[in-house]
Structure 1
Amino acid sequence: MSRPVPRTAAVAAAVALLTGLAAPAHADTTGQRQRDFAAAAAEFGVPENVLLGVSYLESRWDSNAGTPSTAAGYGPMHLTDLRAAGVATSHHDEGSEDPRGDDARPALHPQAAPAAPPQQLQTVDEAAQLLHTDAATLRSDPTQNIRGGAALLAKYHTGDNWYDAVAKYSGSTGDAAQTFADEVFDTIKTGTARTTDDGQQVTLSPAPDLVVPQHADKTPAGVECPRRVACESVPAPYQQLPKDDYGNHDLANRPESQKIDHIVIHDTEGYWDSVLKLAQDPTYVSWHYTIRSNDGLIAQHVPTKDVAWHAGNWYVNAKSIGIEHEGFAAKGTWYTEAMYRSSAKLVGYLARKFGIPLDRAHIIGHDNVPGTTPATIKGMHWDPGPYWDWSHYFDLLGAPLGGFGLPGSSLVTIDPDFAKNQPAFTGCDSPGTTCAPRGSEAVVLHSEPSETSPLLKDAGLHPDGSVSTMDVSDVGSRVATGQQYSVAEVRGDWTAIWYLGQKGWFHNPRHARVAKPAIGWVVTPKPGLASVPVYGRAYPEPEAYPANVPVQAITPLPYTLSAGQKYSSAGTVGSEYYYATTFDVADHVVVKGKLKYVQIQFGHRIAFVKAADVRILPAF
């Protein structure tokens, strides 16, 4: 599957053009970061656009306040230092979530030992030696970090071939290194500009005449992946186990047998090597894909036709594809641009293949998956966390969020400025401690139009009646970028939305909107109904089950959708239950009922109401 990065005529032509280009013009910017790139490029003889392109693929030129990425990388050039990043655990071991979420089977709680990161990711020492400085300086000082990255590129460079130097900088080999270099060269060709997380204006001027190397499709036979990304097969075992048990997924025939409605975004809470070992453990749980942080390499574990055990809700599992991203939801880390781009290409490919809408009602985080019953809500996972940049991710998908409704619309899309939106969460590194200020996709809700008013209550997460908290894992009073909600009231610069049966207030000033007008549909109880039940699964009516399949309870969640309230609708779905409790697929049955549900955005997580209980209305 791996092959050396080629030294082709196309590469040579591209390199010749790169080295012949004048330094990108940036007279219209005065940012220190831009000057740092120009100075480092000149000092080490690296083409400035190559240095800018590599940094963009690593960090989008951000400093991230000196915190490590999901691949233990620091600063704009992503110099890696595992000693500072530390040891990881698996998020599958935290909380009480049963990844299968199927009441017909015993709860599954596999354990995985903490795993140290791979030792090869240690470029900070190499750069420190070249600059005669120390690792701490390179981690914390963006200027020196850029110099360190330039020094490494210069060291990796041989002859006239900057392509190979860029590929080696990724820390990978073969197709993965080639994909990283391709993305860098594509970025150089098209150019880009942005304001970084610390307010620096940086521009990479386009090089439209640059010849980008063209390569054959990298996808191995049998792997479901888009073109121009590096993919490999790391199969999860479908294996019979003792005591009539089996693992670690279920065979199916999707989409012929069951429609795939959702793609669920996860993070691994562990490093690549250890996570792939878990994916190959028949006694562990499963997901369809894992994406590596430093270069965006994709590994497929479970065919998309089959059902993986990843979301903690069997109804969602049976109708979704789960994608794990090497990284951490809260431990002071950030997701690399290389991984965002690779993931967006994969999700776009899967969405087209299965007809999944590119919106936040169908491309969801694990934190948006509902609990199955009142007892399971508290243990549901909350990855990829509030630091996953949904707005940028949907830009990469070609489906930008927000800004499509008319002013005054009764429906809004949550869409804060990621870099400037920095809620004061706690518990990222240890319980109760304040998290480092960082850009976030999350907007916190209050019970009144005041920053000092209490947060909302979540009867599922806090059954004792207490209010939600600012703990990074507490999603009980929080909305996420791209989600849509019905406006309940507006008072000056404050907007209230309907959320878990309450009014949730957030600051939405005219000069810095965090929610934008939207178009769409909402649901409200039918006339005569004081309230309607809310569900975490869209299961069939009892009469739909054949005699050999146990009837699954339709259990309401501990919330109410009351008359006068409205919630964003993602459309009507049929009722369905996949009965798969044995290793022999001949015993598996897809039960489809006549009962219809409507998927709604009820709180931070999606939910379902019976279509017969509600009216579906256009939002005005």
Structure 2
Amino acid sequence: MNVRRPAWCGAIAGVLAVALLNPVAPATATPTGSAGPLETAFTRAAGEFDVPRDLLVAVGYGETRLDGHEGLPSQANGYGVMHLVSNPRQHSLERAAELTGEPVADLKSVTSANIRGGAAVLRDIADAEQLTAADRDRVSAWYPVVARYAHAVDDATARLYADHVYDLLRSGIDAAPVRVAPRPVQPELGRYARVAPAGTTGPGTLALPEYAPARWVAAHGANYAAGRSSPITTVVLHVTQGSYAGTISWFQNPSSQVSAHYVVKSSNGEITQMVREGDTAYHARSANPYSVGIEHEGYVDNPSWFTDTMYRSSAALTRYLCDKYGLPKNRTAIKGHNEIPGNSHTDPGPHWNWNYYISLVNAGGGARPGADRYLGGSPTDFTGDGKDDIVTF
């Protein structure tokens, strides 16, 4: 494949052929210029590199919700809508520059260039996977390509990533500038059919999560310390600045030097435990010795990631932690990363609904003995200040 061939060559030929055969466009044709710039960028990149347009959109949506974040990097040092990454383990940003001839600066900050780079990387992987032209026409055949696009530490985490992309294709993407119609796609797993998704439990499982509803995927030993120097007194809430599967992979990467005890998925509230509660995850600097860290999939500046399902799932986890370690279920013990001394982070950010979250932590299940003293003596004092609070749902 010559990826540097100008995309407009084939487009002009196609337009001339249509013009000769159909001098007058049919009444149902899409009006010229009706597509937005994001839609146009996906369509052009998909055509240039022979990548299914819907698959390209689903990969981008799964990574960033199609938000380029003004060229700012993710936690894993990934950029743009397609999350092109440059870190010691993953170099999709540099590979995109080689394949497209686009400057790295443009791939980071220009959305059309970034989408083109993502399409080029997917096609490059497809060629390595020996997908034929006929294969490339079948969305189902791209599963191994999508799994490799994640550049995960292992195939189990790669499956977690690819499964999510194909879930998006099946359900469709409606709440985005670029839409994808749902389709009953059954992915061709190839060698991944022999691999269980990360965190799958069953016979032979070596470790189980402490929180029963969670998966267990161990962080790399370089990213946390065994044991603790202080008792657990605090639950710290974070936002991943990246995708769920990408965060799990990042915590498995020894060069990251970061981790958290739990990671919560945006779409369905799925939870993965990565560090035992009795060990010290590297997530909040000064608070590491005495806190449990919970990462939430998403980006601080985009509230669409903070779904009701995520709130409820995370709140149930925090309720479990508070009950287990005898912590007050209010803002005395439940804090944001931005509230920890010695940190420069802003997560969970201004879009995180603290009143709602604390109300959910206190909902469900019976109150343990003495819990009323943590709630200021009132069942609607969620902040612990001794006054009734108004909660917005």
TM range (shorter): 0.5 to 0.7
Counterpart residue number, 2:149: 169
Structure 1 SS opposite 2:276: coil
1:368/1:230 Cα in 2 relative to 1: closer, same or farther (>3 Å)? Answer: same
Counterpart residue number, 1:266: 238
**CA-CA distance at 1:187 after TM superposition:** 0.5
Letter in structure 1 aligned against 2:354: Q
Counterpart residue number, 1:218: 198
**CA-CA distance at 1:324 after TM superposition:** 4.7
**CA-CA distance at 1:297 after TM superposition:** 11
1:361/1:156 Cα in 2 relative to 1: closer, same or farther (>3 Å)? Answer: farther
The count of residues paired between Structure 1 and Structure 2 equals 314
Q: Is 1:232 the counterpart of 2:218 in the alignment? A: yes
Render the CA deviation track for 1:373-410: whole Å, top value 9, x for unaligned. Answer: xxxxxx47574x25x4xxxxxxxxxxxxxxxxxxxxxx
**CA-CA distance at 1:300 after TM superposition:** 2.0
Render the CA deviation track for 1:470-514: whole Å, top value 9, x for unaligned. Answer: xxxxxxxxxx54234xxxxxxxxxxxxxxxxxxxxxxxxxxxxxx
Matches within 5 A, 1:134-149: 134-149=103-118
Letter in structure 2 aligned against 1:181: A
TM-score (norm 2): 0.59
**In 1: Cα distance, 2:97 partner to 2:82 partner:** 13
Render the CA deviation track for 1:361-380: whole Å, top value 9, x for unaligned. Answer: 689552586x9xxxxxxx47
Match for residue 175 of structure 2 among 177, 194, 197: 194
**CA-CA distance at 1:340 after TM superposition:** 8.1
**CA-CA distance at 1:596 after TM superposition:** 2.0
1:231/1:43 Cα in 2 relative to 1: closer, same or farther (>3 Å)? Answer: same
1:53/1:80 Cα in 2 relative to 1: closer, same or farther (>3 Å)? Answer: same
Matches within 5 A, 1:240-319: 247-248=228-229, 250=231, 264-266=236-238, 272=251, 273=253, 288-289=261-262, 300-303=274-277, 306=278
Q: 1:153·1:165 contact (CA, 8 Å) conserved in 2?
A: yes
Matches within 5 A, 1:516-555: none
Counterpart residue number, 2:70: 65
Counterpart residue number, 1:133: 102
1:53/1:233 Cα in 2 relative to 1: closer, same or farther (>3 Å)? Answer: same
Counterpart residue number, 1:16: none
**In 2: Cα distance, 1:325 partner to 1:619 partner:** 21
- The gaps in structure 2 that reach 5 residues or longer are 1-27, 136-140, 200-204, 242-246, 324-328
**In 1: Cα distance, 2:362 partner to 2:312 partner:** 23
Q: Is 1:30 the counterpart of 2:4 in the alignment? A: no
Q: 2:219·2:275 contact (CA, 8 Å) conserved in 1?
A: yes
**In 2: Cα distance, 1:355 partner to 1:30 partner:** 48
Q: Is 1:185 the counterpart of 2:170 in the alignment? A: no
**CA-CA distance at 1:183 after TM superposition:** 0.4
**In 1: Cα distance, 2:73 partner to 2:295 partner:** 19
Letter in structure 1 aligned against 2:162: A
Counterpart residue number, 2:320: 354
Q: Is 1:608 the counterpart of 2:384 in the alignment? A: yes
Counterpart residue number, 2:293: 322
**CA-CA distance at 1:33 after TM superposition:** 0.6
1:155/1:71 Cα in 2 relative to 1: closer, same or farther (>3 Å)? Answer: same
Q: 1:575·1:597 contact (CA, 8 Å) conserved in 2?
A: no
Structure 1 SS opposite 2:353: coil
1:179/1:275 Cα in 2 relative to 1: closer, same or farther (>3 Å)? Answer: same
Letter in structure 2 aligned against 1:205: A
Letter in structure 2 aligned against 1:301: V
Counterpart residue number, 1:205: 181
**In 2: Cα distance, 1:31 partner to 1:344 partner:** 30
Structure 1 SS opposite 2:119: helix
Counterpart residue number, 1:535: none
Structure 2 SS opposite 1:232: coil
Structure 2 SS opposite 1:55: helix
Render the CA deviation track for 1:235-260: whole Å, top value 9, x for unaligned. Answer: 65555xxxxxxx34559xxxxxxxx9
Q: Is 1:366 the counterpart of 2:336 in the alignment? A: yes
1:49/1:600 Cα in 2 relative to 1: closer, same or farther (>3 Å)? Answer: farther
**In 2: Cα distance, 1:48 partner to 1:38 partner:** 6
1:34/1:328 Cα in 2 relative to 1: closer, same or farther (>3 Å)? Answer: closer
- The gaps in structure 1 that reach 5 residues or longer are 1-24, 82-117, 196-200, 240-246, 252-259, 280-286, 372-378, 389-440, 443-479, 485-517, 522-568, 577-591
**In 1: Cα distance, 2:67 partner to 2:319 partner:** 34
1:216/1:203 Cα in 2 relative to 1: closer, same or farther (>3 Å)? Answer: same
**CA-CA distance at 1:46 after TM superposition:** 0.7
Matches within 5 A, 1:297-446: 300-303=274-277, 306=278, 321-324=292-295, 344=310, 347-348=313-314, 351=317, 354=320, 365-367=335-337, 379=341, 381=343, 383=345, 385=346, 388=348, 442=350
Name the structure with the higher helix share.
2
Letter in structure 1 aligned against 2:207: G
**In 2: Cα distance, 1:298 partner to 1:26 partner:** 47
Q: 2:330·2:374 contact (CA, 8 Å) conserved in 1?
A: no
Letter in structure 2 aligned against 1:266: H
**In 2: Cα distance, 1:190 partner to 1:64 partner:** 25
Percentage identity across paired residues of the two chains = 23
Counterpart residue number, 1:482: 353
**In 2: Cα distance, 1:168 partner to 1:322 partner:** 29
1:481/1:202 Cα in 2 relative to 1: closer, same or farther (>3 Å)? Answer: same
Over aligned residue pairs, what C-alpha RMSD do you find?
Answer: 5.6
**In 2: Cα distance, 1:72 partner to 1:186 partner:** 25
Q: 2:383·2:389 contact (CA, 8 Å) conserved in 1?
A: no
Q: 2:262·2:271 contact (CA, 8 Å) conserved in 1?
A: no
Render the CA deviation track for 1:420-473: whole Å, top value 9, x for unaligned. Answer: xxxxxxxxxxxxxxxxxxxxx52xxxxxxxxxxxxxxxxxxxxxxxxxxxxxxx
Q: 2:41·2:112 contact (CA, 8 Å) conserved in 1?
A: yes
**CA-CA distance at 1:42 after TM superposition:** 1.3
1:217/1:340 Cα in 2 relative to 1: closer, same or farther (>3 Å)? Answer: farther
TM-score (norm 1): 0.40
Structure 2 SS opposite 1:265: strand
Structure 1 SS opposite 2:375: strand
Structure 2 SS opposite 1:266: strand
Q: 1:179·1:230 contact (CA, 8 Å) conserved in 2?
A: no
1:183/1:353 Cα in 2 relative to 1: closer, same or farther (>3 Å)? Answer: farther
Letter in structure 1 aligned against 2:142: W
Render the CA deviation track for 1:158-210: whole Å, top value 9, x for unaligned. Answer: 32331111111111131111111000000011011234xxxxx2111111x21
